[in-house]
């Protein structure tokens, strides 16, 4: 059996070598000729899996993407050929929540705001949106959820209207890229929506670039009429409109979900799906291959203040590292993709165990470290 795996899939060889020959490929340039003898094809978001990629292949039984988003996969085409498909829903939701928290802590400090006073509207209340909600509400931040499809489907949570989203202090986007239909998200934030926002607000996009009309955003940014911007995703990646960069407070190359733990989880989820397809027992897990983080525990002796929380979060992940690296690399040839390919190690908050002297991990400010994502133990 020939298993073709994107070269940027952590532990791909370790997880799949027992199934047959593992062959890695570069996700952006992979061709139909290259994968014509693949039995199994495992990709990331940069590979379009469609009729033209699989036209020469008659063996393929299984396609997997180690991502949450599936907008790069022609699922109907796979169904028409009876090819089993699997994605990795939820694999990187924690990483995205860590990203949003890290970014918000930077911006509120820069603007001398208090995070607790902000209302955060979360657009899309699925895996990543819910992880952001859980993390921020654990700190005591007031969060609103906006998700008409879930609301219509009877999700028991309370949802807000789009007008309330636009009035929130912070808007964080967590929807899939959909081009058609009643809930299409292509340019959900178009010129007229963007015009309703103001420079006091904060707009975070860690889902897909096409959810915001980047051209309209640039026009308004030049007129200084946009919120503080945190952009992880861009229209037309990797050839993004670099003119936007000076107007973006935190800019990163689609790495919100790129913690080592999340990416390894994505590979693991495909391994489990393939075991199920082939009716083979699941023997491996991602933690078998992921090393312990460089900082493993820290002792908290006093109360957990907002300043201390910020230090703890940024000790594990400070988004400014990625913003600085991105601004340096973006003008290099293949800078966008190279930074993703050689992404420096980043761990999730759960890799830090916070030792508390007694049962005071919930401070008077009601900051619950465990719910934010840290591992908490009493000393
Ligand atoms: N920047 C990054 O590294 C990452 C980006 N993503 C992107 O974020 C997207 C969301 O991820 P998940 O939360 O895991 O997906 P999910 O499928 O669990 O949740 C998406 C939610 O958006 C809702 N939704 C759909 N259309 C909507 C609309 N028009 N308005 C409001 N809500 C709408 C859905 O009902 C669903 O609840 C993914 O599709 C992917 O494209 C995901 C992970 C990492
Ligand atoms: O899961 C998703 O959806 C994402 O956006 C991933 O974080 C994208 O990672 P790559 O597949 O592009 O490496």
pLDDT digit string, tens, across residues 144-188: 999 999 999 999 999 999 999 999 999 999 999 999 999 999 999
Q: Does ligand 1 lie within 6 Å of residue 187's CB atom?
A: no
Q: Does ligand 1 lie within 6 Å of residue 150's CB atom?
A: yes
> Which has the closest alpha carbon to 140: 368, 308, 309?
368
Distances (CA, A) of 238 to 191, 260, 340, 370: 23, 21, 10, 36
Residue 64 to residue 72: CA distance in whole angstroms: 11
Parts of the chain belonging to CATH 3.40.50.720:
2-87, 93-251
ipTM over cut 0.85:
yes
Architecture of domain 2-87: 3-Layer(aba) Sandwich (3.40)
Helix/strand/coil for 302: coil
- Separation of CA 319 and ligand 1 centre (Å): 21
Residue 361 to residue 366: CA distance in whole angstroms: 9
> Which has the closest alpha carbon to 343: 72, 3, 4, 9?
9
Lowest mean pLDDT among 208-222, 253-267, 285-299, 365-379: 365-379
| Residues annotated as part of the active site | 208, 237, 254
* β-strand partners of 4: 23, 41
Helix/strand/coil for 202: strand
- pLDDT, tens digit (0-9, with 9 covering 90-100), for 191-231: 999 999 999 999 999 999 999 999 999 999 999 999 999 99
297-378 CATH: 3.30.1370.170
Ligand nearest to the CA of 96: 1
Residue 92 to residue 259: CA distance in whole angstroms: 8
Q: Does ligand 1 lie within 6 Å of residue 64's CB atom?
A: no
- Separation of CA 69 and ligand 2 centre (Å): 7
93-251 CATH: 3.40.50.720
Mean pLDDT of the chain: 95
Ligand nearest to the CA of 186: 1
Residue 140 to residue 340: CA distance in whole angstroms: 33
What residues contact residue 340 under an 8 Å CB cut-off, 6+ apart? 8, 253, 254, 255, 258
Helix/strand/coil for 211: helix
Helix/strand/coil for 86: strand
Dmax over CA atoms of the chain, in Å, equals 64
- Separation of CA 206 and ligand 1 centre (Å): 9
């Amino acid at each position: 059996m020939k298993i073709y795996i994107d070269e940027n899939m952590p532990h791909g060889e370790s997880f799949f070598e027992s199934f047959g020959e593992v062959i890695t490929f570069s996700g952006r340039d992979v061709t139909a000729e290259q994968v014509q003898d693949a039995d199994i094809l495992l990709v990331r978001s940069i590979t379009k899996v469609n009729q033209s990629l699989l036209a020469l292949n008659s063996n393929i039984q299984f396609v997997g993407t180690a991502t949450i988003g599936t907008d790069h996969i022609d699922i109907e085409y796979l169904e028409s050929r009876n090819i089993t498909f699997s994605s990795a829903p939820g694999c990187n939701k924690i990483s995205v929540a860590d990203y949003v928290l890290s970014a918000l802590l930077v911006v509120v400090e820069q603007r001398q705001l208090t995070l607790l006073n902000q209302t955060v509207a979360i657009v899309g209340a699925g895996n990543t949106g819910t992880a952001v909600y859980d993390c921020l509400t654990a700190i005591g931040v007031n969060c609103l959820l906006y998700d008409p499809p879930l609301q219509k489907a009877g999700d028991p949570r309370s949802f807000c209207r789009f007008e309330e989203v636009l009035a929130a202090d912070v808007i964080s986007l967590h929807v899939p890229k959909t081009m058609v239909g009643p809930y299409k998200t292509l340019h959900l934030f178009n010129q007229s929506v963007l015009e309703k926002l103001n420079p006091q607000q904060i707009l975070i996009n860690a889902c897909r670039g096409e959810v915001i009309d980047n051209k309209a955003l640039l026009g308004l940014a030049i007129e200084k009429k946009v919120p503080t911007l945190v952009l992880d995703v861009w229209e037309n990646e990797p050839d993004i409109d670099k003119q936007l960069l000076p107007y973006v407070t935190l800019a990163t190359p689609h790495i919100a979900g790129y913690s080592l733990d999340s990416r390894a989880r994505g590979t693991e989820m495909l391994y489990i799906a393939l075991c199920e397809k082939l009716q083979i027992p699941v023997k491996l897990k991602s933690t078998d291959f992921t090393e312990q983080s460089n900082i493993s525990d820290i002792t908290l002796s006093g109360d957990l203040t907002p300043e201390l929380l910020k230090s703890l979060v940024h000790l594990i992940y400070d988004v400014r590292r990625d913003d600085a690296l991105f601004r340096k690399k973006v003008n290099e040839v293949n800078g966008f993709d190279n930074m993703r390919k050689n992404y420096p190690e980043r761990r999730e908050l759960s890799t830090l165990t916070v030792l508390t002297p007694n049962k005071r991990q919930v401070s008077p400010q009601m900051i619950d470290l465990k719910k934010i994502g840290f591992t908490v133990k009493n000393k």
